[in-house]
Amino acid sequence: MQRDEIELDSQPIFEIGQKVRVKKLIKNDGTFPGREIGEVLANIGDVGYVSSIGTFLQAYYIYAVHFLETGYIIGCRKRELESAEETHESNAPNE
């Protein structure tokens, strides 16, 4: 079994307040209160905002992502997220 990289050796790739998109279906693994184990918490493509950054097992960053549509705040790993912020400027001419 190959171990993942130790993320804590570098800075987090997402920042508090950053808009992110879910890349993987996220189901309750038993750590989300009030929902059944296996229940879908976030679908691929859902957008939320990083509300805090914590760590897990002294190796990984956990990004608490607030999904405004559901009100859920879900802990996500880096591999489950991508930036949803615009990275290009508009090329439209100024009028």
Separation between Cα atoms, residue 81 and residue 28, nearest integer Å? 16
Domain boundaries, the chain: 7-83
Q: 37, 38, 42, 48: which is closest to 26 by C-alpha?
A: 42
pLDDT tens, position by position, 5-48: 788 888 999 999 999 999 999 999 988 888 999 999 999 999 99
pLDDT tens, position by position, 72-81: 999 999 999 9
Fold designation for 7-83: SH3 type barrels. (2.30.30)
